[in-house]
Structure 1
């Protein structure tokens, strides 16, 4: 057993205390004997009881046998004829008995402790003082040590069970969330997709049957918007299903919209935008590209609502690890439009956070000094979905 620093400190203190006790008893005795030397050596051997417990146990057994032989054959040689204490073995045997249980296998430790208990109590010549005191000095420390070890093992077992139960609870909660996502995805697919499909079909039929160019153009716009909504819904359903359930499907996911169109539309509406793009959008999956598009869309919408006339800088960086989008704007140069500012209710950024979290990204949106605002989104290059199972440009699918 490897002794810790705390164990060594305790053993050092005990060794010094027992050495001081033996020296005190030696000096207080009316007769000096040679037994002080093996006692002091036994006290110092306590420092090795955790590293070499068998050697220390055999040493104390040998000293105890020598004291017993001295009492029978040469009284006063290793122990006084009229001792000041009831001990018939070295006093430090109590520390040895307690530590044997910690370091050796249970049967071997009990064997050594049993031999020391017999030598300390001397049952072949029972006395009212020697027998109980010998058992108290050997059996009691071992019993206390056994209790401590058993209690420590029980507490560790309870901790392990609690940690295992907590892990199982997290797994059950994760499975419940995944099941709820799949149920939600199925509901969206069955209900919303059906309604949108009908809307696209009716809009297409209206565009073909009408002779009014305005109605035809509006119907085509509705049909295009509905088709785009269907593609986005299919992608979102794939994210909700997750875990690669769409493996084996050959249908390619719809390409993500170009964020540059948002910048162009905003500039046409009078916004001043500094647009910087680094890398190619093809390095990320359509799901991720569509999420970046939505983040930029919401950020520019918020600038139009709350900071009209402010300068805007959009930085879009595509890398092999993902995409980093940053949208910064300065303070408003004129009062917000009263028809636009009250709309929204703050749900836009909350929805973006949930969408970014859904694909495993991070979103930070916070005001900047001087009255500006900044939105930072870091998205992974690929997220497995039912709709993008076959589309992994970077080979990141495992």
Structure 2
């Protein structure tokens, strides 16, 4: 997380707190105005003991809103039940007396928004129904004249319908966001699963080559077994890392499992230790100027090309890997060898599948791939990549 992003989140958090404080302050002022307002020929509500009960219910509802956090939906139901009880007590004691309920009505409306948005959350959908009933009947306390009863009830129902609609919209947006996140997670896991070919093919090919070399070379068998053991351990490490990422829901946060530019030299160095003269050059101009997705793709180009050298380039004694800047907006990754096309069991296993997947990945980020024989002999795998991935139109 950059400093700019952290500062933006902090400002947003402060703004939301100030908004909540403003809403709570406004509700308290409305409640105070209700308690002291009265007509010329009547006493203010604070002279009536039931008004204090209704005021306490309003304060409780405001407190529920002020302290509400996702997962505390049951307190919305408690506030709604308390409101229904206060309204029922008003009907039993004195229906003609004007009570207190405007601040409570507004607070229940906000809580209704939360209840609808979290429709399926515990303790259940009954919270929304009870809150809606409390909002519908709370007008009995405020509309004491028959002429205002019908108009006031219609206004309350219209407001309730608006709150329910907004809550349903927010709920649909939340569900769409969750589905999008799950789809992205599934796509990432599928992509990681497809990367298994590269990890397995590279390491297992190295093990096969070492085993074949040990059969014909007159060297110490212990050294050959040590080389095979090292290659096998590298394969197991890669496999463990891959399996862990496929099993972990939050894998990949801040980690690039598919490699980057700094790991290309290690890749070439391991290939060099397996018996081929391999050299690597990475332009220093690319340090810090390439997006992680592009760096991972460049790493995959080199890995796939070196794997194909082992499988298909018969007699290759020299491999040159170059990652150079191509203008100010791109880079070029090339792997060239001096071998000849190979035939046999190793060359025929999985031929073409790696380049097909590599081409799809490169096209996805806005690059191009070229894999062809060289005029002077050998094979060339070259890719042009943008330094930043291409934007995808929805």
User: What TM-score does the superposition give when structure 2 sets the normalisation length?
Assistant: 0.41
Structure with max Cα Rg: 1
Q: Which has the higher contact order (CA 8 A, sep 6+)?
A: 1
The answer to which structure has the higher helix fraction is 2
TM-score (structure 1 length as normaliser): 0.41
